[in-house]
Amino acid sequence: MKIVVTLRCKQEKRKMDQDVYVLGIESSCDDTSAAVMKNGELLSNVVASQKVHEEYGGVVPELASRAHQQNIVPTVDTALKRAGIDASQLNAVAFTRGPGLMGSLLVGVSFAKGFARSLGIPMIECNHLQGHILAHFIKTPGEQLETPEFPFLCLLVSGGNSQIVRVDSYNKMEILGQTIDDAAGEAMDKCSKVMGFGYPGGPIIDRYARQGNPDAYKFSKPNIPGYNYSFSGLKTSFLYNLRDWVKDDPDFVEHHKEDLCASLEKTIVDILMKKLRQAVKDTGISQVAVAGGVSANTGLREAFQDHARRYRWKVFIPRFSYTTDNAAMIACTGYFKYLDKDFCSIDVPIYSNTRL
Ligand code: KG4
């Protein structure tokens, strides 16, 4: 045992002196993804999306877990090939430990642990939410990227999360406020389902909203203290209003889908931005980033640009490829943790609850 440990340390020391290659693995929900970073620059990012959930109008955990099992090996293999490296060149394997769906996380985490152990290299556990935020630091080779300065605020909005996070460093973050019920993306997805559209609903609502009047309809907005969010009241108000309108006109959605989507999107963006403005005012931090799947939304992106002009915020909006779940953000998080030698043991368990 002692010999093995000494040998590993030597291998580690040798690798520490050279280039640092980190493999990132993400499997928290319905995307299997693997990415490779060299010295903090992205060499490859492969995402295998699961179409199987579309017909159910939402992610089915058991099906997601099975699809991850099918996808994980070819996805990692492709990521290594696209990066032009061999597994033996890797210095560490970083993986999403949580939060997420347990059955989905288990596949990526088990693979990552086994892979790292077989290569005799450290494993690095990453928080999915931290990954979304650090997506703002993903650079491709030679790219001059303008990144947020610490401290900054980040609005993290996805299918499972709606949070305002204070980011003090790569590894120090604090949730200032978060949703007490549904997430913003979840509200979009559920309202989309009520209108009879597909899944995920966010991009569909975004598309129709571009041709509609955002002031055509009014939906209820929450009134809760602090920086917390709530979207369940809006969802119910949308559902009840729609029921009444459809009684008078069975084709109401078809006739008014653009205005419905524009008004819904505006209500969600208004709710998100109001609390964010308050957080900026109270903290005095005016560098503001947005992250997560909903950060792809056109109305939200425009609201950020508008706030930059009106309130002199310095805003950071991620590239579309890094808004939804991806392993590039996990490789990036893993790289920063690698520099801190923040490694984990093989028995580290997964978690499903929201935390940073
Ligand atoms: O971050 P993500 O890929 O997965 C997690 O939830 O972790 O986010 C998915 C969410 C879905 O709710 C989807 O409807 C929403 O992001 N989304 C959008 C847009 N693109 C994706 N919401 C609004 N507008 C979009 N363009």
- For 193-220, how does the pLDDT look when each residue is reduced to its tens digit (9 = 90+)? 999 998 889 999 999 999 999 999 999 9
Determine the Cα–Cα distance for residues 67 and 88; give it in Å rounded to an integer: 27
CA atoms 246, 297, 290, 156: torsion sign? positive
Determine the Cα–Cα distance for residues 285 and 169; give it in Å rounded to an integer: 14
Asked whether the beta carbons of 99 and 128 are under 8 A apart, the reply is: yes
Which of 133, 294, 304, 321 to mutate to test ligand 1, by most ligand atoms within 8 A of the CB atom?
A: 294
Determine the Cα–Cα distance for residues 164 and 332; give it in Å rounded to an integer: 21
**Does residue 192 line the site of ligand 1, with CB under 6 A?**
no
Mean pLDDT per 10-residue segment, the chain (356 residues): 43 64 96 97 95 82 95 98 98 97 97 98 97 97 95 94 96 96 94 92 97 96 94 95 95 98 98 98 98 97 98 96 95 98 97 84
**Does residue 203 line the site of ligand 1, with CB under 6 A?**
yes
**Does residue 318 line the site of ligand 1, with CB under 6 A?**
no
The pLDDT, as a whole number, for residue 11 is: 53
CB contact burial 150-169 (16+ within 10 A = b; e otherwise): ebbbbbbbbbbbbbbbbbee
**Does residue 131 line the site of ligand 1, with CB under 6 A?**
no
User: What is the distance in A from the centroid of ligand 1 to the CA of 156?
Assistant: 11
The pLDDT, as a whole number, for residue 15 is: 52
The pLDDT, as a whole number, for residue 3 is: 40
State pLDDT tens for residues 67-124: 999 999 999 999 999 999 999 999 999 999 999 999 999 999 999 999 999 999 999 9
Which of 29, 33, 157, 188 to mutate to test ligand 1, by most ligand atoms within 8 A of the CB atom?
A: 188
> And the tokens for 12?
């580690």
Determine the Cα–Cα distance for residues 80 and 197; give it in Å rounded to an integer: 37
The pLDDT, as a whole number, for residue 353 is: 85
State pLDDT tens for residues 228-239: 999 999 999 999
Q: Whose alpha carbon is nearest atom 5 of ligand 1?
A: 159
The pLDDT, as a whole number, for residue 354 is: 78
The pLDDT, as a whole number, for residue 58 is: 79
Which of 158, 161, 290, 298 to mutate to test ligand 1, by most ligand atoms within 8 A of the CB atom?
A: 158
